Structure 1
C-alpha cells in the first residue's frame, strides 16, 4: 500500500503540473521576515539541505545589501551544488555588477509595475520605469547572465500593461518572466487565469511568486502551475514578509499527494523545517501542516482506535514520509478502546477494572489541562498494582 492516500478526484483534473521547477527564496525573501537574520554558516547549511532534497534553484540573497551579503552569495554560488544559484537585483546597473562578482547562475531583476508602486515608490511613469528596467536587462544579457525578469506587484497591475512589459522583456532576451503576488491578493481561480493569459502572450518560461496575506499562497502557486507556470517560488516554513510566502514543505507534499510528483526527497522536510525554526527564531505553529507538532498527533478516542488499527484512517500520508513520527496522546477525549490499545502497545495487560480506574485518572488529568505522556501513563499504571 502507498504511504499516502491518493485523491480519486485528481483523475478528472487537467492539466497536471509536471513541467515545473522550484526556486526556494528562503535565504532572500525569508530573511526579509522582520527580525530574521541568517548567519553565513546558517545560509550554507540551508542551501546544502535544499540541494540534497532536489530543489532546482536557490535564491541566495540580495548581494547589493552589504559586503557580507555579497560574500555569502558568492560562497554559496561556489559550493558546487546541483541547484542553480540566483540573486536579486534592482533595475540598476550597479546591482548587475555585484551579481557578476558573485558568479551566480542567474539574476532576478525586478521592477514594480502597478500604478500604486509607480506613483508612491518610484515617482515615475510606467514608460520611465519600463525603459529603466529594459536597459538593465540588456546590460545583464550583454554580460552573459541568465535573467529572470520579475514584475513586482504584478497582481495589482493592469493585465494589458503586464502583458506589454513581459512581451518587451522577452524581446530583450529575458529567460524567465516572474509574476509577483506581492501582497497576496490572488485566489486560485485568478492565479490560474492570470498565468493562462500571460502564457498566451509569450513563449518565455513563467514564474509565480506568491505571498500569504490571505492564506492562499500554496493554493495559488499550485493553480499557477496547473496553468503552466514553470518556476514555483517557496520559503521553508512559509516565512517571509508580513504573513510569509508559499510554504516549501506544503507545496512539495501537495505535489506528491495530489499529482504523484516524487522527484523531491521529502523525508528531510521535518529536519529542514526544524533548522529554519532554530535559525530564524520563528516558532512553527503546532497546527501547521506537514511539520507542526500536531500534524501526526491523535487524541480523540474514535480517531486513536482507528489509527492504531490502520493509520490511513486519519492520516493523509505516513509521518515517516516527511521524517516525522506519530504521537498518540491520551487525555480528556480518550476512549476506553483507544486507551486499551495504547496500554497494550506499551506492553501492559490490564483487567477491565484497572482500565476503568486508569481511564478516570487520564480524563481528570486532561480536564486539568495536564498532558498525559507515556511516562505519566506508566506511573498511573504502576499505582494500580
Structure 2
C-alpha cells in the first residue's frame, strides 16, 4: 500500500485476554470496546467465537455496542470456525473474519503434521469461504517470524489472489530481531506480485522485548496495519503495546506516518484496561507507567523545570496526564526543592534555601518519601494540630449472598462521625462511606495492592492515588489485612489536603 495511514488493530479483547487471570465478562468487554472507539482504533478484535459461548456472545455484543471500528473475529482455517465467526459478526457495521494457519516448519510438520502444498490449499480454501461470510477477510500466517521467506511469499500471493484484504505476518514467538522482521516485510513487498491488493499487518510478541521495535521496523518497510494491545498485554511476555507504537510514530514525524488515535485518551484507556483485567501497570512502563513522567534526579529535575523538553520527548498532557511529577528524594537538587516550596507558598532567599536544603538531605536519607508536611516542618511552619482525619473504627459485611456494606467511624476535626455505605465490594463500600463524611470532591485515580511478604499471613501494601481540585495526592497503607491497609491508604491521601 502506498498510503501512509497506519491502521490500528487492537486485540486487547482477544490476545490480551489470553493472559491468565485477565478474562473479562461481556459487560466489561463492551466497556473496553466503547473506550477503544473513543481512543480511535480502526479495528477491534473482539474474540474467538468458536472457543466458547461467552466469546461468541461477546463478539455479538461488541458488534452492537460500537459504530466506527471494524469488528474482527478470529478463526482457524477450519470451516466450522468460519461459519460461527460469520454468525457472531452479523450485527457488526463492518465485520472482518481473521483466519489463518501455521507456515513455519515447526507448525507445518510438527503441529499440523502436513506439508507445504497442503498448507497453501487449506489457506486458500479458508480465505474463500470467509470471503462469503464477512465484509473483509484477514489472513494470518502463524509463526511467520520463523517461516522461510520464499514459502511465506507463495502463501501470501495465493491468499491475496483468493480475496484476502489484509495479510498478517505474525512474529508469534517473539523470535525476530528488528532488522530480520523488517527485512521479511520488505521481502514480501518486493516478491509478492499482487501484494498491492492487500494491506500488510504486523503482529509481534514481546518474548525478547522486541515487539515495539519489530512492529516499527515492519511499518518502515511497508506494513500499514499494526496489531497491538493496551499496556502490552498478551500471551507469555505480551504483545506490542499500542501506546508505544502510536507515540513513537507521533514523536518521529519525519517518518511521515499517520494514525487516527486520540492520544489524550491513552492514559484513561490504559487505566480502564488495567483495572478491569486486574493487571497493574509496572511503574516504569513506557508512556503509561506511573514513573513515565516522574523525575527524582536533581540534574533531571533542574533541566525539566527550566525546559520540559530537556528530559521529556513527550508532553504528558498529550497522553492525558496533567503535568510531570517532580518527586523529592535524596537525589533531588535545590531547584526541585525551591519549586515545591514555591508551590506551597514559600519563596526563600538563597541563604534560607541553602539551610533548608541541608536539612532536607538529612531527612531524605532516612525517609523514602518527602511530603508537603515534611517541607512545612523544614521551613519552620510545622502545624501544631494533629491531622484532622483519624480512623476510629470500621466494620465490613460481605459474602456470596449479601451486598457488601461498610460502617466507618472517623474522628474529623475533633468530632466523631459514623457513616454506612454499600459498594461493589468491601473496599468500594469502605471508600464510599468515607466520602460521605468528607466535604471534598475526590476521584480515585489508582488503587494498587502489592504483597510485601509471602504466605497466608502476607503483609499487603496498598497505594491509592486521589485527585482533588486539579492536583494529585498519594496515600499508602500496609497491614496483614488488605482491607485495613486500603482504608489507611485512602485516609492517608485524604489527610494530605484535608
Change (3 A) 1:310 1:228: same
Which of 281, 284, 303 is residue 284 of structure 1 equivalent to?
A: 281
Which whole-Å CA distance do the structure 2 matches of 1:337 and 1:53 have between them? 37
Would the aligned equivalents of 2:130 and 2:137 in 1 still touch at CA under 8 Å? yes
Would the aligned equivalents of 2:100 and 2:126 in 1 still touch at CA under 8 Å? no
Deviation at residue 278 of structure 1 after TM alignment: 1.0
Which ranges of structure 2 fall in alignment gaps of 5 or more residues? Answer: 384-498
Aligned pairs for 1:366-377 within 5 A: 366-377=364-375
Change (3 A) 1:16 1:284: farther
Deviation at residue 227 of structure 1 after TM alignment: 1.1
User: How well do the aligned residues superpose, as a CA RMSD in angstroms?
Assistant: 2.0
Deviations 1:47-90 (A, max 9, x none): 11111121111101111111111011011112242011101001
Which whole-Å CA distance do the structure 2 matches of 1:182 and 1:93 have between them? 23
Which whole-Å CA distance do the structure 2 matches of 1:234 and 1:209 have between them? 7
Aligned pairs for 1:74-223 within 5 A: 74-103=60-89, 104=92, 105-200=95-190, 201=192, 202-203=195-196, 204-223=198-217
| Corresponding residue number in structure 2 for 1:232 | 226
| Corresponding residue number in structure 2 for 1:267 | 264
| Corresponding residue number in structure 1 for 2:6 | 20
Aligned pairs for 1:230-379 within 5 A: 230-259=224-253, 261=258, 263-324=260-321, 325-379=323-377
Q: Does 1:31 align with 2:25?
A: no
SS at 2:20's partner residue? coil
Which of 29, 45, 52 is residue 38 of structure 2 equivalent to?
A: 52
Deviation at residue 27 of structure 1 after TM alignment: 0.5
Change (3 A) 1:330 1:128: same
SS at 1:78's partner residue? helix
Deviation at residue 118 of structure 1 after TM alignment: 2.2
SS at 1:232's partner residue? strand
* Higher strand proportion (structure 1 or 2): 2
Would the aligned equivalents of 2:174 and 2:211 in 1 still touch at CA under 8 Å? yes
| Corresponding residue number in structure 2 for 1:73 | 59
Counting matched residue pairs gives 371
* Higher helix proportion (structure 1 or 2): 1
Would the aligned equivalents of 2:326 and 2:336 in 1 still touch at CA under 8 Å? no
SS at 1:358's partner residue? helix
| Corresponding residue number in structure 1 for 2:465 | none
| Corresponding residue number in structure 2 for 1:12 | none
Change (3 A) 1:254 1:16: farther
Deviations 1:109-146 (A, max 9, x none): 02011111223322222323332232222211233542
Which whole-Å CA distance do the structure 2 matches of 1:144 and 1:84 have between them? 11
Would the aligned equivalents of 1:332 and 1:363 in 2 still touch at CA under 8 Å? yes
Would the aligned equivalents of 1:331 and 1:365 in 2 still touch at CA under 8 Å? no
Would the aligned equivalents of 2:33 and 2:66 in 1 still touch at CA under 8 Å? no
Deviation at residue 380 of structure 1 after TM alignment: 3.4
Structure 1 window deviating more from structure 2 (133-142 vs 307-316): it is 133-142
Structure 1 window deviating more from structure 2 (149-158 vs 38-47): it is 38-47
Which whole-Å CA distance do the structure 2 matches of 1:290 and 1:17 have between them? 27
| Corresponding residue number in structure 2 for 1:5 | none
Which whole-Å CA distance do the structure 1 matches of 2:269 and 2:147 have between them? 35
Which ranges of structure 1 fall in alignment gaps of 5 or more residues? Answer: 1-14
Structure 1 window deviating more from structure 2 (88-97 vs 343-352): it is 343-352
Which whole-Å CA distance do the structure 1 matches of 2:342 and 2:138 have between them? 58
Which whole-Å CA distance do the structure 1 matches of 2:344 and 2:259 have between them? 35
TM-score by length of 1: 0.91
Deviations 1:134-191 (A, max 9, x none): 2222211233542101000001111111011111111211111110100112222122
Greater RCO (Cα-Cα under 8 Å, separation 6 or more): 1
Deviations 1:345-368 (A, max 9, x none): 321123445433432343233323
Deviation at residue 382 of structure 1 after TM alignment: 4.3
